[in-house]
Structure 1
Amino acid sequence: MQRLLMIGVGLTGRPYVAAARRLGVRVHAVETAERAATLAGEVDDVTVCRGGSDELWYEAASEAVRAARPDGVVAFSEPHVLAAALVQDELGLPGPSLRAAALSRNKALQRGRFAAAGIGQPDHLVTDALADARAWASAHLPVVVKPLSSAGSAGVELVADHAAYDEVVARRGTEGRLLVERAVSGPEFSWEALVRGGKVWFANLTRKETTGPPYFVETAHRTAAEVDGPTRDIVDALGRSVLDAMGMDTGIVHLEFRLTPDGPAVMEVAVRTPGDRLMDLLGLAYGTDWYEMVVRMALGRELPPPPQGPLRHTASYLPTAHPGTVTAVHGLAEVLAHPRVVEAEVEVAEGATIAPVRSSAGRVGHVVLAAPRRDELEAALAEVRGLLRVETRRPDGDTG
């Protein structure tokens, strides 16, 4: 019986475990103590990780390998990518490649590699102190400041003018190494691809909605996005060039970019599970379990024929709320009863405090929708937006 080493499981990585079980595979999970306690009965073995750093995930993964050699390794989320790649490299197992994993973990390394490869991306500067980058930023305003290694838009911030840059220097001047980029405009997409041996087995295009400046937190995704033929060719060419530049071998790739008037501009790329229930949307859209495909590739197993196209159209809606204290949640029962809603959850309750939305962690829930036609999906999405509302009271007594 084959053994899968699952580095990180979290809340939304459990479908990987379920897929492995369906395939008759033993699962050895690496998780933090808090998460490990919730996996009883779901996995065969657990190795506890002592913390959340890349180094400690690798320490725990190495301990798991000493206990039993795996036949495949899957990284769940961004902090797990490097540990998985090191184990895959050591044991000669399928994986993205060490280069791809290192680039996934560092946006500044991505910028350097993609510049050398001639791939479209924003002008940028890496700085250890925002004050030292003032002259460069002034010549390129508006700019975006972002951490080198983060997820969910955490720490990403648009700086519109000189006064705003001075304020950011005062507030974030001691944060350490950051990336400063010229802001680019255009519709935002992501390209999700399952890759084996450097070749795309199947790819999808997702259109995104965000809160816009200054934090660009994602609030909706539509999979199987429809674009014209020339645009599709541009996107596919971009995906291939990114894979080549990364040295991508086997696994899942999540590429985020904007279609600017000057061509596509890469925002970032990762070789791990995309967030916001995208894997579930992809499974619903194409009738193929993407979690299972990742497990099959990790174990060197055969893949079925790729999908011929979408069977349905899917979307996720990720609502936000005004800052304040939650006084009521409206419309959840109606949303759950909607015929196009697959899943819905509000993650805050009455009395909770809502902070300003500055990252994905600030959203208040999620809704997954599916419909046979695009117009039906859009109608359902509009209805859900109108029904679901988290009401808050601000300190001054006003409600939102």
Structure 2
Amino acid sequence: MKKIVIIGANDFQNPLILKAREMGYQTHVFAWKEGAVGEQTADYFYPVSIVEKEEILKECKKIKPDAVASIGSDLANITVQYLAVRLGLCTNSDNCILYSTNKFEMRSAFVRNDISAPLFTVVDETRKIELPRNMTFPLIVKPTDRSGSRAITKVFKEEELDVAVEAAISNSFEKKAILEEYIDGEEFSCEGISYNGQHTFLAITRKYTTGAPHFIETGHMEPSGLSPKMEARVFHELGMALNALEIRNGASHSEFRINSRQEVKIIEIGSRMGGDCIGSHLVPLSTGQDYLKMVIQTALGERPEILKEPLHHFARIQFIFGAGDMEKYRNIKEKFPENIVFTSEIGEIGSHEVVDSGSRFGFYIMKTGDLTQMQEIAGILAPGINQN
């Protein structure tokens, strides 16, 4: 029996554990015990923090796995690459992991490879802010090395910079913040799978957020509603960007906007599957593509199995921020019970402030076979707003 080491064991990682077991692999899972759903679903569970790379490596040398994998987490992805390199397993380069988990290094790689990028600068703990010439407000300020909407702030004037920079640096592992020009337009993401440098794009997701100043995701939907012509432009731009970041094997999650001039502007790209259940749930529900299986196959060094004729269903995840969202959930559950395919554990509403993706109270996932039904659901979520 082949063995696979999985880094992380929370609700968002658990689908990978279940998929690996379904495929007949023995699963060895590392994570903090607290909140680790995977402790119950893994064949072997190790209560070790995912950042304890050296300790995990010691265990892996005993396990002798055939693959190391994770989904939806930059922090886990760093450990996956560290282990895979030292165990001689399929992975991306050291440069790839640096470029795809550090926003300053990513922007720098884009510039070196003539990939369109906004003006940007980095600020460290000295708090000395020097904006590049022609860089104008509004700006986006965020940690260089965090994900999940942590400490992201849209800043409209100079007087607001210090507070935003302080928040970003405080949340950064390396204690740095990146400042970049704000890109207007609707926001999307794209899930891809790569094998030996060949990229296949599986789905584009339309993103819904709280908007300025912190842009916390409220939901995601597939398909995005973009035209085939625009999708082709997106895939062309993203293919060049993946090459610039040296992403050659495994999943990718690309975030981008289409601005008022209909230009594709890349925000950031991770060399891992998208979080928020985008890769684990929305992609297979909307397209029929087994994205989790592809992640495992590429981690094993195998060519991923990709459907030539994917499905064309509609899938959506909605997050709960407060009492109003709970009321909408109850309405949808009453009117469209057969379309709710998954509901997470929901925390005590109002027990804390939602400040980033990790502090939302829960979520539910819906699937429909046609656009009309999804539009009816969207009407409950945001009456009078066309969310297609």
Paired with 2:121 and 2:106, the residues of 1 have a C-alpha distance of 12
Kept in 1: contact 2:165–2:177 (CA 8 A): no
Tell me by how many angstroms 1:110 deviates: 0.3
State the SS of the aligned residue for 2:34: helix
Structure 1 stretches of 5 or more lacking a match? Answer: 387-400
Matching residue of 1:363: 360
What is the one-letter code of the residue matched to 1:312? H
Tell me by how many angstroms 1:327 deviates: 11
Relative to structure 1, the CA distance from residue 291 to residue 299 in structure 2 (aligned partners, 3 Å threshold; closer, same or farther) is: same
User: Any idea what the Cα deviations from partners look like across 1:15-45, whole Å, max 9, x if unmatched?
Assistant: 2111111221111111123356x54552232
Highest Rg: 1 or 2?
A: 1
Match of 2:70 among 69, 75, 78: 75
What is the one-letter code of the residue matched to 2:118? P
User: Any idea what the Cα deviations from partners look like across 1:204-231, whole Å, max 9, x if unmatched?
Assistant: 1111111111111111211122322331
State the SS of the aligned residue for 2:118: coil
What is the one-letter code of the residue matched to 1:187? E
Kept in 2: contact 1:282–1:290 (CA 8 A): yes
Paired with 2:205 and 2:352, the residues of 1 have a C-alpha distance of 28
State the SS of the aligned residue for 1:151: coil
Paired with 2:79 and 2:351, the residues of 1 have a C-alpha distance of 36
Indicate yes or no: 2:156 matched with 1:160.
yes
When the two chains are superposed, the root-mean-square deviation of aligned CA atoms in Å is 2.6
Matching residue of 2:44: 45
Indicate yes or no: 2:10 matched with 1:10.
yes
Kept in 1: contact 2:253–2:271 (CA 8 A): yes
Matching residue of 2:351: 353
Matching residue of 1:23: 23
Tell me by how many angstroms 1:200 deviates: 2.0
Instruction: Name the TM-score, length of structure 1 as normaliser.
Output: 0.85
Paired with 1:189 and 1:273, the residues of 2 have a C-alpha distance of 15
Matching residue of 2:88: 92
- Percent identity over paired residues: 22
Matching residue of 1:393: none
What is the one-letter code of the residue matched to 1:110? M
Matching residue of 2:386: none
Kept in 2: contact 1:32–1:48 (CA 8 A): yes
Matching residue of 1:296: 297
State the SS of the aligned residue for 1:231: helix
Structure 2 stretches of 5 or more lacking a match? Answer: 384-388
User: Any idea what the Cα deviations from partners look like across 1:312-331, whole Å, max 9, x if unmatched?
Assistant: 1111112323xxxx799535
Tell me by how many angstroms 1:249 deviates: 1.6
Tell me by how many angstroms 1:48 deviates: 3.0
What is the one-letter code of the residue matched to 1:367? Y
Mapping 1:210-359, distance limit 5 Å: 210-260=209-259, 261=261, 263-278=263-278, 279-301=280-302, 303-321=304-322, 329-330=326-327, 332-337=329-334, 338=336, 339-345=338-344, 347-349=346-348, 352-355=350-353, 357-359=354-356
Relative to structure 1, the CA distance from residue 166 to residue 107 in structure 2 (aligned partners, 3 Å threshold; closer, same or farther) is: closer
Matching residue of 1:61: 56
Kept in 2: contact 1:202–1:307 (CA 8 A): no
Tell me by how many angstroms 1:3 deviates: 0.7
Relative to structure 1, the CA distance from residue 135 to residue 353 in structure 2 (aligned partners, 3 Å threshold; closer, same or farther) is: same
What is the one-letter code of the residue matched to 2:216? V
What is the one-letter code of the residue matched to 1:31? A
State the SS of the aligned residue for 1:239: helix
